[in-house]
Structure 1
Amino acid sequence: MHLNKILGSRGFLKTKWSGFPSAIGIVIGGFWMISCGGSSVTTQPKAPVEAYKYTNMQIQNEKHRSVVQVPVEISIADVTKHLNAQVQGLIYEDNSFEDGNQDNFKAKVWKRGPIVADARDSLLFYTVPLKIWAEKGYKVLGIGGSQATEFQINLKFITRFGVDADWKVNTQTASAGFDWVSKPSIKVAGVEVPITGIVSRLINENLAKISQAIDDNIRQNISIKPYVLQAWNLIREPRLLSEEYRTWLLITPTDILMSPFKIQNGKISATVGIKGFTQTYTGEKPVTKPALNIPPLIVTNDIPQGFQIGLIGTLPYEEASKLAASQFVGKTFDFKEGKYKIEVTSVDIYGQNEKLIIKAGLKGSISGVIYLKGTPFYDASTKLLSLKNVDYDLNTRSVLVKTANWLLQGRFAKQIEQQFVFPVGAQVEEAQKTIRQQLSSRKVIKGVNLSGHLEALEPDQVYLTPSAIVALIVAKGQVEVKIDGLL
């Protein structure tokens, strides 16, 4: 039988040549599969829901409790100068020879020289030099008369300083006695009669009154409240941290503590601690109205220290997506020793509560999109915003298990984690630099000096808001507002 007839009768020839296009396709497809490691898989998993726990305003309202130290000093030289200005000339007079005055004694008292003060053991010691004119009435053999005399004494006092809740300086003055500089005497019928006993008793009887008068005078004329109110409003004034990012430092004071007064190195000193909250605000300069009053004072030996503020590094999602695209788009990853290959075609980023979602477009052994998620954090050592625990979203994982399990077993997610970094340190450094400048020792207004320093930067938390990734870094240090020259 002829070969053609044999082949034709068995149907082989017809099948072979009529299926030629399919056979060619299989061969070509086989070569493509060999070169690409298998057929291309299309993935379109369900996208993770976009959701946020925090708004931008909530982040800006994140407050950090702080204490601003306000050392208050009153120079002893200023105190004595003030006392000398207040106590001048005739300071006491008693002109009574009235019935009932058994001593028949009149007196006038002048300050004869400057009051001198000294400090020892947290107490103020001072001496008031006086000149006294006294006139003593007498009767001798039924004949009455009077004799005048002058003498000098130095009155001594001890004062302990304090401050009342209403911010009035409160002193407790006690007499430390007196010294005779010259003693009094009168002549009766040509005979010198000492009257030191009578004078001593009269002085001692009036020392308590004099001490009270000193305390009343200090209380009426010395108040630190205006200066503390000045410091209070100075602290509340917004401070510009970054002109480029329009970032402001806000301090909201809440309480005032004060240590007891100490007297040392020629000064009466105490420390006021203003407790409050600090926060960082982005936008136009916040409006703060000057306070007209301050809270009552709480006196305590234990004033906490420490000033901290939150520095904000903000990375909008749009900018983050562009930065990520510049790192990944066009990059090729291979798996199973080159058996499978994918190329990243697009990157998009958004948030889901505390997780950052990465939407990656792919082509190659996989075509379509996949979703990964990771936890954003700020690395203080590198000053970079990074991701940790990057993994595939649950829906993406479910699709890949069925279609491209090799991708789950590869290092793609780990490579994304290692290379997914964004610089936000510049914003933080600028804010930190500005704060240091703001805290550098300088005179704000007469009698008020601001000083301080930052000691450490500690990452606090990374927040995901509807518009941006926000890294909050806590700057810790000390701040002092020094008040001097109260008198």
Structure 2
Amino acid sequence: MEEYKYSDKEIQNEKHLSVLNIPIEIPVSEIETQINAKIKGLIYEDNSYEDEDNDNLKAKVWKISPIRVVAIDSSFLFEVPLKIWVSAGYKVSPLGITMSGYKDTEFSIKIRLISKIGILPNWQIKSETYVDSYDWISDPSIKVAGLNIPIKSMASRLLNKNFDKITEAIDEEVAKNLELKKNAELAWNIARQPVMLAEEFDTWLVVVPTGIVMTPLLAKNNVIRAVLGIKGYTQTITSATKPSVTAVAKLPNLQISPKVTEDFKIGLISLVSYEDAARLATAKFAGEKFSFLGGQYKVEVTSVEMYGQNDKLVIKAGLKGSMSGFIYLKGVPYYDPATQQLSLKGLDYDLDTRNAIVKTAGWLLQGQFSRMMEKKMIFPVGEQIAEAKKTIQKALSNYKVTDGVTLKGTLSDIQPDKVYLTPKHLYSVVFAQGKVNLRVDGLKGI
């Protein structure tokens, strides 16, 4: 009886677990430019001499020249030049005469900050900035009646107390300028767009994403780099029209991994109809006679029919000669990558056939007839697979998905999956393994 586990459509929609790589490159100069555009002029102002510390100081802090940013590994180093105006209250008694009032002074410092950068599963950039050190460009000093009033220590306390305002501003701008979520959403939905692989065969590549993984943000040569990997299933679909997809409303949580694999698989399909396979097999057996028991018995194969029974291929062979009629053999079809042929293994008589010939033609069991049939049941499909790989490789060499988005890939190893039997065809499915990158301009120099 004919029985099938799969339909043609199911095989054409078979999914293969893959990872689509998306390189991320962000020049540190871009971040430096954005931070300098946002942090400028007056940064901090204290207009009261009396506060909780009773420091008797008023102060204003300005950025006086561009902030320099250097990135090393997962850290930013910021160099922030500041001008500071201080109005200090004083009280002195030179020569026994008490004098008091307020004096203004200006001085400059250069602060060095270090910011550790990370990204949370909810896509939030987390940076922790702290003051590493600072240098006095010019010292604060106030003179009253020829006396130097030491306010450097007071100024230091003022700075230490208010450094958090500067570090908070830095953290805020780093988070804004490394905002990856919206760009990841863009890549996620672009990755789901069907790619025409072979127009002549109406073959499309569709990626069904299931998750996102990313390497830590690391800087080298003043460029922050990471690899975003969209994990999902690839499908090669045969369709006369572009398969439809719907946008995903919510991006899944991010997983951070030391490495994103480059394992991308595309299913390559070759198919042979049962009619064509039977015709090729019949041509191979035409006119050939098989002898048994030293030539006492001879048979000739007159016809071959084929159909499926779950995972096995059934061969109905017509015989004439010492035995006339039909015999049934069953074997498991498989694709041999070495010979690039569709073959059978374990070909043997169907149980009913075996029982029948034991009674009427036991000699047919002696001559390894089933093994001889197995050796001849081979069908070349390598050319189909090679042509499919060539066509897909050409499509992936530099495929423009849309403006600013390019798909580039290389296919290398061919690994057999299995042979599927459907009501009409034998499908040989192999994996073309390789590496596929999605280049999104928006993720280069955000």
TM-score in same-fold range (> 0.5): yes
Specify the alignment match of 1:31 in structure 2: none
Change (3 A) 1:207 1:446: farther
Mapped to 2, the partners of 1:446 and 1:248 lie a distance apart of: 20
Counterparts of 1:61 and 1:480, CA distance in 2:
22
Distance 1:476 1:301 in 2: 22
Aligned to 1:309: 266
Q: What SS class does the counterpart of residue 96 from structure 1 fall into? A: coil
1:477 paired with 2:429, answer no
Aligned mates of 1:187, 1:448 — CA distance in 2: 65
The 8 Å contact of residues 386 and 420 in structure 1, kept in 2 or not, is answered as yes
Task: Provide the rounded CA distance (Å) in 2 between the counterparts of 1:121 and 1:350.
Answer: 61
Cα 1:156–1:464 shift into 2, 3 Å: same
Partner of 1:159 in structure 2? 115
| Other-structure match for 1:132 | 84
- Offset of residue 219 of structure 1: 2.3
Name the larger-Rg structure: 1
Alignment of 1:212 onto 2:171: no
Aligned match of 2:229: 273
Name the CA distance, whole Å, in 2 between partners of 1:448 and 1:173.
Answer: 34
Equivalent of residue 8 in structure 2, options 51, 56, 62: 56
Per-residue CA deviations over 1:326-363 (Å, capped at 9, x if unaligned) read: 333x4231414655444433221101112111122333
CA offsets per residue over residues 263-322 of structure 1, 9 Å max, x none?
322222233332222233333442112223310112343645522233222222233233
Asked if residue 69 in structure 1 is aligned to residue 21 in structure 2, the reply is yes
Shift in Å, 1:99: 7.3
**SS of equivalent residue, structure 1 residue 232:** helix
Over the aligned positions, Cα root-mean-square deviation in angstroms equals: 2.8
Structure 1, unpaired ranges of 5+: 1-48
Q: How does 1:222-241 map to 2 (within 5 A)?
A: 222-241=178-197
1:320 corresponds to 2:277: yes
> What do residues 378-402 of structure 1 show as CA deviations (whole Å, max 9, x unaligned)?
0101211111222222222333333
Deviates more, 1:274-283 or 1:123-132: 274-283
| Equivalent residue, structure 2, for 1:362 | 319
Structure 1 pair 193/442, CA: closer, same or farther in 2 (3 Å)?
farther
Distance 1:138 1:101 in 2: 16
What is the one-letter code of the residue matched to 1:485?
K
Which position in structure 1 is the counterpart of 2:359? 402
Residue of structure 2 equivalent to 1:187? 143
Q: What residue in structure 1 maps to residue 423 of structure 2?
A: 466
> What amino acid maps onto 1:105 in structure 2?
L
Structure 1: how far apart are the matches of 2:44 and 2:416? Answer: 68
When structure 1 is superposed on structure 2, of 285-294 and 474-483 the one drifting more is 474-483
State the partner residue of 1:259.
215
Distance 1:173 1:441, change over 3 A: farther
Identity %: 47
Distance 2:400 2:157 in 1: 53
Q: Is the 8 A contact 1:106 1:135 kept in 2?
A: yes
User: Of residues 267, 280, 283 in structure 1, which corresponds to 2:239?
Assistant: 283
1:150-209 deviations in whole A, cap 9, x for unaligned? 221111100111112221222111111211111122232354434222111101111122
Residues of 2 paired with 1:244 and 1:323: CA distance? 26
- Aligned to 2:325, the other structure's residue is in SS state strand
Q: Which residue of 2 aligns with 1:149?
A: 105
> Which stretch of the first structure deviates more once superposed, 137-146 or 281-290?
137-146
- CA separation of 1:53 and 1:101: change in aligned 2, threshold 3 A: closer
Cα–Cα, structure 1 residues 348 and 245, in superposed 2: closer, same or farther, change >3 Å? farther
Q: Secondary structure at the match of 2:324?
A: strand
Q: Give the distance between the partners of 1:244 and 1:153, measured in 2 at CA.
A: 69
**Aligned residues of 1:335 and 1:407 also touching (Cα < 8 A):** no
Distance 2:258 2:18 in 1: 18
- What's the counterpart of residue 17 of structure 1? none
Report the Cα offset of residue 443 of structure 1.
7.0
Which of the residues 340, 350, 366 maps onto 1:383?
Answer: 340
Write the distance in 2 (CA, Å) between the matches of 1:420 and 1:211: 75
SS in 2 for 1:129: strand
1:127, distance to aligned residue in structure 2 (A): 0.2
Is 1:115 paired with 2:67? yes
- Distance in 1 between residues matched to 2:219 and 2:52, nearest whole Å: 45
Instruction: After TM superposition, give the deviation of residue 100 of structure 1 in Å.
Output: 6.7
Does the 8 A contact of 1:333 with 1:412 survive in 2?
Answer: no
| In the alignment, structure 1 residue 95 sits paired with structure 2 residue 53 | no
Aligned to 1:45: none
Which residue of 399, 406, 411 corresponds with 1:454? 411
Q: Structure 1 residue 333 and structure 2 residue 333: aligned? A: no
Equivalent residues, number: 438
Q: d(CA) in 2 for partners of 1:387 and 1:162?
A: 55
The residue aligned with 1:171 is 127
Given that residues 198 and 395 in structure 2 are in contact (C-alpha distance below 8 angstroms), is that contact kept between their aligned partners in structure 1?
A: no
User: What aligned pairs does 1:7-86 form with structure 2 within 5 A after superposition?
Assistant: 49-86=1-38
What amino acid is the match of 1:422? F
**Structure 2 residue identity aligned to 1:333:** K
Following the alignment from structure 1 to structure 2, what is the Cα–Cα distance between the partners of residues 247 and 325?
Answer: 32
